[in-house]
Amino acid sequence: MAEPPADADVVIVGAGPVGLVIALLLARRGWSSHLVERHPEPYGRPRAIALDPETMRLFQRMGLLDEILPISDHTDYYDWFGADGELLLRFDRSRPAAPGWTQQICNQPMIEAILERRAAEDPLIRVTRGVEAIDLIESDDRVEVRLGHPRSGVDEGTVAGRLVVGADGANSRVRRLLGAEVEDLAFFYDWLIVDVLPRVERDWGDASVQLCTPARPTTVVPAGAGRRRWEFMVMPGEDPAAVEDPAFVWRLLAPWDLGPENAELERSAVYTFRSLWVARWVRGRIALAGDAAHLMPPFAGQGLNSGLRDAANLAWKLDLVLSGRAPLGVLDSYSVERTEHVQHAIRFSVELGKVICVLDWDEARERDRRMLAHRGDPATALGSVRAMNVWRAFPFFMVMLLAGLQAIPRQLYEAAEIDGATLWEQFWHITLPQLRGVMATIVLLDSIWTFRAFDPVYVMTARATRTRSPPSSPT
C-alpha cells in the first residue's frame, strides 16, 4: 500500500533564525516547509548580536537589507585592554571584508521578527508552535516526525516530509534522537550576559571593548537598536543565581554610570559557554544545523553566523535532492564542508577565550607583556589562524591546479611549437589564459577556507595605537 504524500517537502524542527532562513531559501526555489517549534511564542530576549560580512551578503541575496540595515549598528574598532588598563590590541573593523560588508550589530529578536514576517507571508511556509519532535521514523522516501506537547508529552500527531532538518538549538531533541556523537573541547565558563536599554543619550565611542582584567574579564559592546551589552565572567566561588540578581547587576554597571534611574535592564542571565560539534551532521534524510550541530564561545561572534552558513550551504543541496538533480548522498558533502569550517570557528573562539579568561594577576601581566611586544598587531599577538589553514588547504589547491593543467588541450601547444613559439610564449599565451578559471576558483575557495569572513587577522587591520584610555573596569 502506497504511503500518503508528505505534508511538506521539508520538515524543519526549530523555528529560530536558522530554521526560518532554511525555509525562506527553500521557498525561493519553490519547495514547501513545515516548521515545528516547541516554544509557543518567539523568544523575545536578545541573544546573538553580531552579523558578519557573509551573513550580510546572505541577507542581501534574500532581499532583507532594507529592513535589517535601519536597525543595525556598527563600531569601527575592537579594543582589548590588559590587566593594568593598557591597550593591548586594536582591531580595525571600519573597512568592508571580502564579501563587501562590515560587521553589523543587531538585536536578534528584531531580526527574527523580520524573518517570521517574511515566512508568514509565504504560502510555501507553515509554522506550528507549541509542539516538539518526540520521534523520527525514516522510510525510503520520507521521514515522519511524531509530535508531542513539550511539557505533558501528550500526542500532538505526526507530520511528514521528504527530508527533515533539525535546527532545534543547543538542547536539540533531533540530535538526541539521532544518537549523534558529540566532540567536546571541554572549554567552558559561566558568564553573566546583561542587556541594557539606556534612557539617556550618550556617546559610547567608536569601539567595542574587551577588558582582559583578572578582577573580572568583561566585554562591552553595542547590542543593536540603541541597546548596550555587558558580559561579565562569573568568578570562582560566585553563585550563578546570585549574580543574576538585579541589585548585583547594577553594582557591576555602576562604573559606567548606569542605574535604574537612567537605564532599563532588559536581561541578566548566566550562560555556560561551551565548545562542541557533532561528528556527523547527516543521517539518511535527516540533517542537523545551527546550535543543534555545534556550540561555541561568543568571543569571535560566530555562533549565529555559523548557523546561517549552515542554512546557506544546506538549502541549495536540499533543492538538488528534492528536484532529483542529485542523489541523497550529496547531503554528505554538507557535513564534510561545514564540519571543517565550524571546527575552525570553535577553536578560534576557544583560543580567544584562553587569552581573555586569565584570572591570575602574574599570568595576566606576563600575557600582556608578550602581547605588547608585538606592538598591537593581532596577526602576531594572537597567532595567524589563516596561515595554519592555508597550509592545510595546500594539497587540495595543488590537485585543482594539476587537474586544470591536464585539461588544457595538447593541440594548442603542438600548434604553438609549429609556429616557433618559445616555452615562455606558450606559458603566457596558452597556460595562463586556460588556467584563469581554475585560479579564480582557488582564490574564492581560499577566501572561504581561511575563514576571512570573520578572521580578525584578515578583516581587521591592527593599529599599534596606545593613546586611548580604557573605560572604568568593575572590581
Cell of 363: 599570568
pTM score, whole prediction: 0.80
Give first-to-last CA distance, the chain, whole Å: 71
Mean residue pLDDT of the chain comes to: 85
- With a cut of 70, say whether residue 185 has pLDDT above it: yes
Which whole number is the average pLDDT over 435-455? 48
Which whole number is the average pLDDT over 222-226? 86
Q: Residues in the chain, how many?
A: 475
- With a cut of 80, say whether residue 184 has pLDDT above it: yes
- With a cut of 70, say whether residue 419 has pLDDT above it: no
Residue 73 has what pLDDT?
87
Residue 375 has what pLDDT?
67
| Statement to judge: residues 427 and 447 lie in one domain | yes
Task: State the total domains in the chain.
Answer: 3
Q: Is 443 a member of any domain?
A: yes
Phi, psi of 411, deg, nearest 5 = -60, -30
Residue 228, domain CATH? 3.30.9.10
Residue 288 has what pLDDT?
98
Residue 396 has what pLDDT?
54
| Statement to judge: residues 146 and 291 lie in one domain | yes
Residue 468 has what pLDDT?
40
Alpha helices per DSSP H over 234-273: 240-243, 246-253
Residue 287 has what pLDDT?
98
- With a cut of 90, say whether residue 143 has pLDDT above it: yes
**Whether the Cβ atoms of residue 456 and residue 378 lie closer than 8 Å to each other:** yes
| Statement to judge: residues 43 and 137 lie in one domain | yes
Residue 461 has what pLDDT?
31
* Cα dihedral value 188, 192, 195, 200, nearest 10: -140
**Whether the Cβ atoms of residue 234 and residue 271 lie closer than 8 Å to each other:** no
Query: For 370-396, what is each residue's pLDDT tens digit?
Result: 888 876 666 666 653 344 444 445 555
Distances (CA, A) of 143 to 154, 196, 243, 288: 21, 43, 44, 14
- With a cut of 60, say whether residue 300 has pLDDT above it: yes
| Confidence band, pLDDT 50/70/90 cuts, at residue 449 | very low
Residue 162, domain CATH? 3.50.50.60
Distances (CA, A) of 258 to 81, 197, 249, 251, 375: 21, 10, 10, 9, 34
β-strand partners of 195: 229, 267
Which whole number is the average pLDDT over 36-59? 91
Q: Is 445 a member of any domain?
A: yes
Q: Greater confidence, 454 or 139?
A: 139
- With a cut of 70, say whether residue 469 has pLDDT above it: no
Distance CA 414, CA 416 (A): 5
Which whole number is the average pLDDT over 150-172? 93
Q: Is 361 a member of any domain?
A: no
Query: For 237-272, what is each residue's pLDDT tens digit?
Result: 999 999 999 999 999 999 999 999 999 999 999 999
Alpha helices per DSSP H over 186-330: 240-243, 246-253, 303-322
| Statement to judge: residues 34 and 123 lie in one domain | yes
Q: Is 465 a member of any domain?
A: no
Q: Greater confidence, 46 or 127?
A: 127
Show the domain range for 115: 8-49+107-185+278-353
| Statement to judge: residues 196 and 244 lie in one domain | yes
| Statement to judge: residues 122 and 256 lie in one domain | no
Any idea what DSSP says for residue 330? G
| Statement to judge: residues 147 and 237 lie in one domain | no
- With a cut of 80, say whether residue 112 has pLDDT above it: yes
| Statement to judge: residues 249 and 282 lie in one domain | no
| Statement to judge: residues 136 and 220 lie in one domain | no
| Statement to judge: residues 16 and 129 lie in one domain | yes
Query: For 323-368, what is each residue's pLDDT tens digit?
Result: 999 999 999 999 999 998 899 899 989 988 999 999 999 999 999 9
Q: Is 324 a member of any domain?
A: yes
Cell of 284: 539518511
Distance CA 131, CA 168 (A): 12
